[in-house]
Structure 1
Amino acid sequence: MDGRAGIDAALVKRLIAAQFPRWAGLPVTPVEIDGWDNRTYRLGSRMTARLPTAATYALAVRKESHWLPRLAPSLPVAVPPILAEGEPGEGYPYPWSIRGWLPGETARDDRIDDMTAFAVSVAEFVRALQACSPDGGPAAGQHSFHRGASPGFYDEATRRCLAMLAGRIDTDRASAVWEAALAAEWRGSPVWFHGDIAHGNLLVDGGKLAAVIDFGTSGVGDPACDLVIAWGMFSGPSREAFREAVAQDSAMWARARGWALWKAMLMLTKATDETEATPHASLIADVLAEHPGS
């Protein structure tokens, strides 16, 4: 099985016929916007089949199947309803899942009525998730790609990016942001985090936040990684509204700047043209501008 290339509608149909014959007659079609970690297919009009593309991503299947139904009642918007969990088969080596279809479209500026109100809604989701009981939750680690742990896990990669980006960004200030992130150690009690709150994992319906999807990097630990959307999607009044509504301390924001800087620099080193590079360079500039003393 060759990762993404080995997953197609024919495989999904075979898996469903073998493991869930009650749904075997439903059409299977690719979704319009797919992710990298998983391939998703519409199953009829009310369900989806979601198949991880690699073993590291497959770690999330049973985690989400177990925890999403437990978290959902405490959250202010919908999260993916898990209907069934599939097993390896038909030449496909990983567990997979069938989920209920959630209405809405991927969050985008032109689909949002009021970006400031939307930012507050996202902050309210973050706060509600943090308030869920962490008892028994999966501690940050490999399954979360170390979101929820210290950003220091990516120290070597970050310093490599700093060296590669010399002359393209203010690496002195970026180094200061990174050092501040490492120094601002997490000293609180572990709480739930999503791990990848970004526009692609937020659904909008009627101009408002309707659902949060893809909890593959979720877990229990330090929620600083969930603040990265402050620079990834918000600016000006909406960023300030998010900052106020999410109500986190300065150390949390220092670590969040570190998480944002690591990922943006990594993506910038991989960008192949100016169009691809611009959003990452812009995010880095915003993060550096907010570092105390800048």
Structure 2
Amino acid sequence: MQTPEADIPVDEQLVRVLLVDQHPDLAGELRLVSNGWDNAVYRLGDELAVRIPRRNAAAHLIAHEQRWLPTLAPALPVPVPVPVRIGVPSDRFRWPWSVVRWVDGIDGADVDASARTPLAAPLGRFVAALHVPAPLTPDGRVHPDVPFNPVRGVPLVSRDRVVRERLRELGRLWDITALGELWDEALSAPLWQGPAIWLHGDLHPGNLLLDVAPDESVSLAAVLDFGDLTAGDPATDLATAWLTFQAEARAVFRAVVVDASSPESGAADAATWLRARGWALNIGTALATSSDDNPRMHALATHTLSQLLRDAYDGTRA
């Protein structure tokens, strides 16, 4: 599957005009550093970056970050892209956009899983800090400003049809019998009955920024891209255990999450981790069937499905 065409072409000239119109004091060299499915990112000088949507489907995701990251960030143990300036829709560009602080680092999807091993504990602490109940209205419903995401944080069974279609598509390359058994096991786990928990929603290595020190030690520099921010079943984010890590680091990540989380987060429940493995299968098959033109994401799909098959062949229970 090819990266979708932009609904509105975004280039350096447009970004510069938007800055002059709305934030004229933010002068500096502009350089395109990322042009993803949903957003383009331009580095602005040495300290800032402009994050701007390129598709209508992603425009509201920027608004989610603008609304909630200033509230969530103070409780999180690593930097996240809190907007330092907000771009509002205008005649020149009909969607919101943001200026955020630039954080140096290496994309977590650009290294292999063994290099990500040192992230297990800090990412576990991040997840534990984020995974708290979302705010409620006085009558006990999730606050209407909390973003709803139809494909994250929802009951895993809602992904059943599309996962089975992807497994059939992947049948020539992967042991879909073993993967199907893992999927069935995940679907058999009890549904999440706890409160709606804050979720990053897209917690894979490509949204992790690594800092490599002069002595080659690795740390977690930032967690990026909260466009899929939502609230619901915490198992969705815990899928990163298979997306990001190999078995040993996965065990460390799980232990840290369990130790640092509150009881209401569900981190200590075996059923939550069974669903998490199902979410990993859902995301891994999505990447495997839609990343033909993206070697980084294709490699991530291969890693994820390989880790899941290791569980299947070893008889490992999540």
> Which TM-score band (shorter chain)?
0.7 to 0.9
Match of 1:26 in 2: 28
Match of 2:238 in 1: 227
Distance change in 2, residues 1:63/1:283 (3 Å)? closer
Alpha-carbon distance in structure 2 between the residues aligned to 1:177 and 1:280: 16
SS in 1 for 2:228: coil
Map 1:192-207 to 2 at 5 A: 192-205=198-211, 206=213, 207=218
Q: Which runs of no fewer than 5 residues in structure 2 stay unpaired?
A: 137-142, 259-266
**Aligned AA (1:198):** H
SS in 1 for 2:289: helix
Match of 2:305 in 1: 284
Question: Which whole-Å deviations, capped at 9, do the CAs of 1:244-273 have from their partners, x for residues lacking one?
Answer: 112232211221121211222233334659
Match of 1:73 in 2: 74
SS in 1 for 2:210: strand
Distance change in 2, residues 1:75/1:6 (3 Å)? same
TM-score if structure 2 supplies the norm length? 0.80
Match of 2:126 in 1: 125
Alpha-carbon distance in structure 2 between the residues aligned to 1:188 and 1:235: 29
Indicate if the aligned counterparts of 2:76 and 2:130 stay in contact, CA closer than 8 A: yes
Distance change in 2, residues 1:188/1:51 (3 Å)? same
* Greater alpha carbon shift after TM alignment, 283-292 vs 93-102: 283-292
Indicate if the aligned counterparts of 2:76 and 2:126 stay in contact, CA closer than 8 A: yes
* Greater alpha carbon shift after TM alignment, 146-155 vs 51-60: 146-155
Could you say what the CA RMSD is over the residues aligned between the two structures, in angstroms? 2.9
Match of 1:13 in 2: 16
Alpha-carbon distance in structure 2 between the residues aligned to 1:129 and 1:240: 20
Match of 2:178 in 1: 173
TM-score if structure 1 supplies the norm length? 0.86
Distance change in 2, residues 1:210/1:269 (3 Å)? closer
* Post-superposition offset of 1:123: 0.6
* Greater alpha carbon shift after TM alignment, 255-264 vs 211-220: 255-264
Match of 1:162 in 2: 167
Alpha-carbon distance in structure 1 between the residues aligned to 2:21 and 2:292: 43
Map 1:52-201 to 2 at 5 A: 52-89=53-90, 91-107=92-108, 115-131=116-132, 134-135=135-136, 136=143, 138-139=145-146, 141=148, 144=149, 146-184=151-189, 185-201=191-207
Alpha-carbon distance in structure 1 between the residues aligned to 2:41 and 2:16: 13
* Post-superposition offset of 1:95: 1.2
* Post-superposition offset of 1:163: 2.1
Is it true that 1:269 corresponds to 2:269 in the alignment?
no
* Post-superposition offset of 1:133: 5.1
Alpha-carbon distance in structure 2 between the residues aligned to 1:116 and 1:27: 35
Match of 1:251 in 2: 271
Distance change in 2, residues 1:163/1:221 (3 Å)? same
Question: Which whole-Å deviations, capped at 9, do the CAs of 1:2-26 have from their partners, x for residues lacking one?
Answer: 6177101000011111122222x32
Work out the number of aligned pairs and report it: 288
Alpha-carbon distance in structure 2 between the residues aligned to 1:281 and 1:27: 37
Identity %: 35
Indicate if the aligned counterparts of 1:134 and 1:192 stay in contact, CA closer than 8 A: no
**Aligned AA (2:275):** R
